[in-house]
A = this chain, B = another copy of it.
């Protein structure tokens, strides 16, 4: 492994927790060079909802490549893009009566967020954005300014301004009325809050610690935005594409965001791709006003289309995700009962277990790795172990992973 230590930047991180060299991967399993298998309850931080190298998508991808169909096309029209757009329209937008225009920004979540913020500012003529405590939206300058983590913010090297954090749902354990402070600031012409162009929110904060906002809180937020002419951006990069059950994580809240950011699993196969969905009347971009070399990454369009066709033409995946999520929840509740101060968190298959004792979550993740289970930690103090298997995990794999997780907790926090 010396080439990594000697040549790759110190910025590398996951590899420090999992010091092996991975080589192959299928479904919910990765394999290192020595052939050892790892059950993946991490799923590319949400980029692998359909598992590694999903055979349905793989078939479409390999065929596409084999036939020399176009790979790279900037924003030219291609047959692959047309297929994707038609499928996305038919399978995702129309059934949900969503009237969005589809923007292809650069193929990363942070680029989708940048496009969303730029457009919100352009449309409203306002500069300020409201974000939430413990938010994560990306690492480029615009997205970083609405991200909470102070270490990551410090990396900017310049003051990150134009954003004001508001308390996320349950930030005060439910003791105070939702939006008390935000609403008061908006209604007070001398509050000192710059009128926001947009609010950007995750329905479940993945990096922030698997904090799931209640649907009524999200609905209240949407209403507040509407009342004050603020655009609502839902960053569904990690929680979209079925992670919480429905295709969009906000569906359960009965809201329609003005702008939606998608990336990670939208490409289906772990290939870089991102979308920014924009309410039709807000699509005031000039041609080329936001661009990027890889916004026409056709292999990802192909696997994205295949994934939509395979998983979203009926409600089976959604139902199975919800059922599996409940299974995870049950096990977590049992485990939590044995660890004082711990608690289960999350929605759908975005689940987590929060530990009170400092460092314990990290030790549990380490113990899990030694048992062949990949889980990462999140939260401001890395106090939460995230359980995010592929949505396509089998029941057996799920049980197996949960058993390994339970053992790992037992090892680190003997009852």
**Are B21 and A82 interface neighbours, CB within 8 A?**
yes
Q: In this assembly, does A408 line the interface, its C-beta being within 8 Å of a C-beta of chain B?
A: no
Among the 9-residue stretches A116-124, A242-250, A348-356, A357-365, the one with 4 or more Cβ atoms under 8 Å from chain B is A116-124
Whether the Cβ atoms of B188 and A85 lie closer than 8 Å is: no
In the complex, A345 has a CB within 8 A of chain B: no
| Stretch of A155-163, A313-321, A399-407 at the chain-chain interface | A155-163
Q: Are B157 and A121 in contact (CB under 8 A)?
A: yes
Residue of chain B at shortest CB distance from A163:
B192
Known A-B contacts A12-B75, A155-B118; A294 and B272 likewise in contact (beta carbons under 8 Å): yes
* Contact sample, A vs B, 13 pairs, CB 8 Å cutoff: A7-B88, A9-B101, A9-B102, A19-B77, A22-B73, A44-B293, A106-B106, A110-B111, A118-B141, A133-B185, A135-B192, A142-B142, A153-B194
* Residues in B whose Cβ lies below 8 Å from that of A194: 153, 159-160
Query: Which residues in B have their C-beta under 8 angstroms from that of A70?
Result: 22-25, 30, 52-53
Interface magnitude class on chain A: 35 or more
Residues of chain B within 8 A (CB-CB) of A410 are: none
Mask of A207-245 contacts with B, CB within 8 angstroms, 1/0: 010000000000000000000000000000100000000
Tell yes or no: A41 within 8 A of B by CB. no
Report Cα–Cα, A145/B283, bound state, in Å. 23
| Given A53-B68, A74-B14, A152-B289; A7-B47 close (CB under 8 Å) | no
Q: Are A62 and B66 neighbours in the complex by a CB distance under 8 Å?
A: yes
- The answer to whether A192 touches B133, judged by C-beta atoms less than 8 angstroms apart, is yes
CB distance from A68 to the nearest CB of B (A): 5
Across the two chains, which residue of chain B brings its CB closest to A25?
A: B70
Would you call A86 an interface residue if the criterion is a C-beta within 8 Å of the partner chain's C-beta atoms? yes
**A71:B159 contact, CB within 8 angstroms:** no
Across the interface, do B190 and A150 meet the contact criterion of CB distance under 8 Å? yes
A308 adjacent to chain B (CB < 8 Å): no
A56 CB within 8 Å of chain B? no
Whether A79 sits at the interface, judged by CB under 8 Å, is yes
Docked-complex contact A283 and B189, CB < 8 angstroms: no
A179 interface residue (CB < 8 Å to B): no
Q: Looking across the interface, which residue of chain B has its beta carbon closest to that of A285?
A: B11
Contact in complex: A45, B62 (CB < 8 Å): no
* Smallest CB separation, A402 vs chain B (Å): 23
Given A22-B73, A70-B24, decide whether A190 and B161 contact each other with a Cβ distance below 8 A.
no
Q: In angstroms, how far is the closest chain B Cβ from the Cβ of A300?
A: 8
Which has the most chain B C-beta neighbours within 10 Å: A77, A86, A160, A263? A77
Cβ of B134 and Cβ of A190 under 8 Å apart? Answer: yes
Q: Apart from A15-B77, A48-B72, what 15 extra A-B contacts exist at CB < 8 Å?
A: A11-B291, A18-B77, A22-B79, A23-B78, A26-B68, A52-B68, A71-B269, A108-B111, A111-B139, A114-B139, A119-B157, A127-B159, A176-B180, A271-B294, A271-B297
